[in-house]
Amino acid sequence: MRLAELSRRSGVSTATIKYYLREGLLPPGRQINTTTAEYEEEHLRRLRLVRAMIQVGRLPVATVREVLGHVDDDSLGRTIRLGAALWALPQVPEPDEDDAYVRAAHREVGALLDTLGWENAKSLTTISPSYRSLVVALAAFRRLGFDWDIELLVRRAKLMHQAAIADMDFMETHRTDAERAEAAVASAVLVEPMLQALHRLAQEEESARRYGFE
Amino acid sequence: MRLAELSRRSGVSTATIKYYLREGLLPPGRQINTTTAEYEEEHLRRLRLVRAMIQVGRLPVATVREVLGHVDDDSLGRTIRLGAALWALPQVPEPDEDDAYVRAAHREVGALLDTLGWENAKSLTTISPSYRSLVVALAAFRRLGFDWDIELLVRRAKLMHQAAIADMDFMETHRTDAERAEAAVASAVLVEPMLQALHRLAQEEESARRYGFE
DNA sequence: CCTTCTTGGATAACGGCACTATCCAAACAT
DNA sequence: ATGTTTGGATAGTGCCGTTATCCAAGAAGG
C-alpha cells in the first residue's frame, strides 16, 4: 500500500499523513528506495487509532505521540506499560495546591478511597493523573457551592468500578501485551465518550419521562 | 466589588475578565459612571462557572457563550431550557453519513435504545447531539475492529442511567429554573470529568488487584 | 489639590496548535 | 516519454484563548 492508497482508505489527506509521520504518530513505511515506501494494514489500523484519539478523544498530537510510545514500548512489563499509556492521556490542568478548595478536595477524595477500600489507588495519590483530575473537578464543583454528600460520590465510584471491571475483562481477551495496551487506550479514549453520551442520553430520557416535552 | 477585586478573588487576570466581558460570557457590572463599574457576588459565581467550563470542561469560549445564553433565557420552559443548555455543550465532529461504519453504528444505537426501552430518546435520534456523539464514538470503535457485543453497551447504558437519575434528583433540589439549568450544566461539565476520573482510578485499582505492581 | 491608580473601551499582538501548501529532485507507471 | 508519486524540508494558514498597549475619564489617598 502506498501513501495515496493509505490516504484513500483512511479518509485522511496525504499532507496530514505526512505530518503524522513527521510527528512520529505513525511509524515510517518500508522504504523501497529513496522516493517510495510501502505501508501495511498495520499502518492503516494505527492511523485509524490516531484519528480516533485526535477527533473523538480530542487529544493533542503531542499526547498521542506519548501514549503510543508507551503502547509500543516492549521493554515495559504488563501493568507498567498499561499504566504508562493511560497516565499519558489526561489533559486537566495541575491543581493549585495553595487553593483552599483544592486542599479540601484532596481530603475528600482520600476519604472516598478509604470508604471504597481502594487501597491500591490510595497509594498512588501523589502520582496518578486520574486522582489529580478528580481533585481538580471536585474542587471546581465545591467552589461553585454545590454541596454533594460524599455518599453520592461513593455511589458514582461504584458504578464506574463496575464499568472498569467489564473493561478489564474485555482487555484480557487480547493476547499480546501490545494489543492489551492498545485495547486499554481505545477503551479510555472511545468508551469514555460513549459513557458520556449515554449519560446525557439517559438524562434526556429521564427528563422527558419526568416532565414530558411541554 | 470592582474589577481588580473580582480578579483577585477569582484568580483570573483583569485582562481575561475584560475579554470575557467582551465575549459576553460575563454580564457587565453595574455602571457607576463612564469609567467605573460595580460587580456583585453573582458575577464572581458566574466567572467561576465560566472558568470551570473552560478549564475543566475544556469548552470553547463560543460554546460557553451559547450555553449560558440558554441558561439565562427566561423565555424558555423548564425542559426546553435544560435541553437547550445541554445540547449546546457537545463538541464531537458531525458523523459522515456516507460512511458504512457510521450507518452501522446508527442501527446499533437504535437497537440499543429499543432494548433499553428509551422511547423518548428514540424519538430524538435525528436531533440529539448526545445521540450523534454516541454514533461517532461507536463507529470509530468498530472501525478499529473491536467487537463488543451490544449487551456490553446495554450494561453501560444502565449504569449511566442510574447516575443520570441521581443527577436529576440533585437538580430538582434547586428552586428556580435558572438554578436548575445551571446545576444541569455544572453537572454535565464537572460531574462527567469526575466520572471519567473515577473510571480510570477504578481501572488502576482493578489492574493492581489483578496483576499487582510488578 | 495633586498625584497615582483604576476604570471601560478599543485595537493589536502573541503563542500554540493542527493542518495545508509549495517546491524539490528522484523514481515509478503506462 | 510523460504525467504522477515519493520522501523531505520549509513556510504559511486559520483559529483561538489570552495578553498587552494606549487612551481619557474618574476615583482614592495624602
* Whole-number Å distance between alpha carbons of A149 and B170: 11
- DSSP calls for B45-98: HHHHHHHIIIIIS---HHHHHHHHHHHT-TTS-HHHHHHHHHHT---PPPP-TT
What is the domain extent for residue B141?
93-211
- pLDDT for res B214: 59
The tens digit of pLDDT for each residue in B10-33 reads: 999 999 999 999 999 999 988 888
Q: Are residues A129 and A45 in the same domain?
A: no
- pLDDT for res B130: 92
- pLDDT for res A147: 87
The tens digit of pLDDT for each residue in A108-153 reads: 999 999 999 999 888 888 888 999 999 999 999 999 999 888 999 9
Q: Is residue B153 part of a domain?
A: yes
The tens digit of pLDDT for each residue in A73-99 reads: 888 877 788 888 888 887 788 888 888
pLDDT, averaged per 10 consecutive residues of chain B (214 residues), comes to 91 95 93 86 94 94 94 84 83 85 95 94 86 94 91 94 92 87 87 93 89 72
Q: Are residues A43 and A97 in the same domain?
A: no
- pLDDT for res B201: 92
Judged against a pLDDT cut of 70, whether residue A214 lies above it is answered with no
Q: Which CATH number goes with the domain that contains A15?
A: 1.10.1660.10
Q: Are residues B105 and B206 in the same domain?
A: yes
- CA→C1' distance for B7 and D21 (Å): 19
Q: Are residues A119 and A194 in the same domain?
A: yes
The tens digit of pLDDT for each residue in B87-101 reads: 888 778 888 888 899
pLDDT classification of A197: cutoffs 50, 70, 90 = very high
Q: Is residue A172 part of a domain?
A: yes
Which 163-192 residues of chain A approach strand C with CB closer than 7 Å?
Answer: none
Q: Interhelix angle for B150-172 vs A150-172, to 10°?
A: 170
Number of domain units in chain B: 2
Q: Is residue A38 part of a domain?
A: yes
Q: Are residues A105 and A191 in the same domain?
A: yes
Does pTM surpass 0.85?
A: yes
**Chain B environment of A133 (Cβ under 8 Å):** 193, 196-197, 200
Q: What is the mean pLDDT of chain B?
A: 90
Q: Is residue A82 part of a domain?
A: no
Pick from B77, B95, B59, B5: nearest CA to B188: B59
Give whole-number Cα distances, B171 to A43, A139, A143, B184, in Å. Answer: 47, 19, 17, 6
The tens digit of pLDDT for each residue in A150-176 reads: 999 999 999 999 999 998 998 889 988
Q: Is residue A185 part of a domain?
A: yes
The tens digit of pLDDT for each residue in B135-146 reads: 999 999 999 999
Q: Are residues B140 and B199 in the same domain?
A: yes
Judged against a pLDDT cut of 90, whether residue A102 lies above it is answered with yes
Question: Grid cell 463507529 — which residue?
Answer: B139
* Whole-number Å distance between alpha carbons of B181 and B87: 12
Q: Interhelix angle for B78-87 vs B61-71, to 10°?
A: 180
- pLDDT for res A20: 96
- CA→C1' distance for A141 and C12 (Å): 36
Q: Residues A4-21: what's their mean pLDDT?
A: 94
- pLDDT for res B137: 95
Q: Are residues B136 and B38 in the same domain?
A: no
Q: Is residue A117 part of a domain?
A: yes
Cell of A125: 495519590
**Largest separation between any pair of C-alpha atoms in chain A:** 67
Residues 92..151 of A with a Cβ closer than 8 Å to B: which?
A: 92-93, 96, 99, 118, 120-121, 124, 128, 130-131, 133-134, 136-138, 140-141, 143-146, 148
Quick check: B56 and A136 in contact, CB under 8 A?
yes
Q: Are residues B39 and B139 in the same domain?
A: no
Q: Is residue A184 part of a domain?
A: yes
Q: Are residues A125 and A187 in the same domain?
A: yes
Q: Is residue A22 part of a domain?
A: yes
